[in-house]
Structure 1
Amino acid sequence: MFDGDIRNDRLVFSGAALIFLEEDDPSTFVPYHFAFDGTAFTQLPDTVSIAEFQEIHDVDFPISSGVDLESCVQPRPDTIATQDGISLIFPTLCRINSSVDGGASGIIGVILPVDNKSLELDGDAICRTEVAHWLTLDGFADPAVVLCAIVDQPYRQGSMSRFWMDVIFYRQHAGELYNMRADSRNFQRIN
C-alpha cells in the first residue's frame, strides 16, 4: 500500500509492503516502510494511509522508514539509464529493513524515466532486468526481499491522472525472483 504523486516532475511516494505466512494471522506479518521525496529516500512523512492499512489488518507496527539512508547509491554511476538505455531521473538503490525484529533484509530501488517517457516493456520486465544488475553491486548481492518502485505506463484514457506507478515486491529464493503482486496491478495513479 502506498501513496504517490508527481509534482513538477518530482516523484514523491510513501507506503508499506508486507510479507506474511498466513493472511489471516497478523502475527506472521513483516512490514517494510518506505518514503521517497524527489531525489532520495527520506524518513516517513505524516500520512494516514499506513495507519489505515494497519487498522484494516488489526496490527500495530512501528511506523518508521526501514530504508537505510546511509546505504543509498546510484546503481549505474557511469550512466543515468537502465540497461536498455532508458534515461532516468535520480535512479536510487538502498538497503531496507523490516519494521519488526527478525524480518528479512532487502533492497529498494526507484526507476523514473525522464521527460515522462512511456516505457515499452511492462514494469515487471524492466524491474527484473534492473534487479539483476542491482544484485551484482557490493552490499546488495543477496537480499531476501526486493522492492522496485517504477513509473512505467501512462494512465488510461478518462482518468484524472497521467501515469501509473507500481511498487513491485519480490522474494528471492534459491537464485530466483518471485513476484509478490496480486492478480491485478498493484498500481497507484499519480498526477
Structure 2
Amino acid sequence: MTPVRSLARAMLSGIFVVSGARTLADPDQLVAVAKPVTDRVTPLLEKTAPRIPTDTRTLIRANAAVQFGAGLMLATGRFSRPAALLLAGTLVPVTLAGHPFWSQDDPDSRRGDQVHFLKNLGLFGGLLLAAADTEGKPGLRWRAGHRIGHSRRSVRRAVRTARREARLAVLSASTARRFPG
C-alpha cells in the first residue's frame, strides 16, 4: 500500500474511530436525537430480523461498534473495501438523525446542520471511493472476465487438439487398412 493511500485511509477513518469510541462509552447522549430515526427503522427490523433488539440505545451502540471496528479496519488497511462500505452504511442514519437541516426553524441552526450534512455527504463520497479502490490491482469484474476469456481459449485449444488427434487417428487407421501388417 502506498504511503499516500495509507495516510488517506487513516485520515478518513479517524472520525469514525473517535466518534464510535465516544458513543460506545456514552450512548445515552444521542438517544433523544436518534429516536425519530430508530422509530422509523424499528418496524422494518422487527419484520426482517425479529430477534435483533430494536431499542434506540442498543441500535446506537451497534452503530457505534460498527463505526469503531470498521474505522480501525479501514485505517489499518485490513478488509478496507468492505470496511468502507460498512462505514458508508452507518453514516446514513447518523446524518439523517444528527443533521436534519430541513426541519430547523432557526436560520443559524439550519445553516450549521446543513454544513454538517454536506460534510457527511463528502465523507460518504470518500468512503465510496475507498470501497472502489483496488490499490492498482485488477478488480473482481476484470478478473472474472479475464478468467472467462482464459477458459474459453483453453476450451478452444482442447477442441482443436481433439480434432487434430481424431484426424490423425482416422489417417492412421486408413493407412493401416491399406498397408496391413
TM-score by length of 2: 0.27
Higher RCO (Cα < 8 Å, 6 or more apart): 2
Kindly indicate which of the two structures has a greater share of residues assigned to helix.
Answer: 2
